[in-house]
Amino acid sequence: MSKVMLIEDDETMLTLLSTLLQLEGFEICSSTDYNQESILTTIRQERPDLTLLDVHLRQSNGIDLIKHMRADPELKDLRVLMTSGLNYKEECLKAGADNFLLKPYMPDDLIKSIKFLIGNNHSG
């Protein structure tokens, strides 16, 4: 079973995503603390196959976070799918994201993107 880590500070969105992805057969984990170091520590502990990362977080920024992940030897190969209600696709991809989805997105688009990225993860 593939593990997906949700880094999303909107509780409603987090619940919906968790339910959707569990129904699709994914194991879900998330960070309950939104500062950058806590998120990075949780990712290292959980070792997800993919991280679904929102650009706007309460105490940090997803683009800064992905830059830190790509600079970290332990996390540099982790698949990351970034999302935002604003079109940050270019910035996210440039920072190291594997893909970007503009909110609101269709559940099918999310599932397809996750399955594609996990299927193309040759590092682990």
Residue 53 φ then ψ, to 5° = -120, 120
**124 pLDDT band (50/70/90 cuts)?**
very low
pTM given for the model: 0.94
**Would you state the structure tokens that stand for residue 113, as one six-digit string?**
């993107």
In CATH terms, the fold of domain 27-119 is Rossmann fold (3.40.50)
Q: What is the mean pLDDT of the chain?
A: 93
**34 pLDDT band (50/70/90 cuts)?**
confident
Domain residues of the chain, as ranges?
A: 27-119
pLDDT tens-digit readout, 57-110: 887 899 999 999 999 999 999 999 999 999 999 999 999 999 999 999 999 999
Q: Name beta bridge partners: 56.
A: 61
Distance from the first to the final alpha carbon of the chain: 13
Kindly state the helix (H) or strand (E) to which residue 92 belongs, with its residue range: helix 89-95
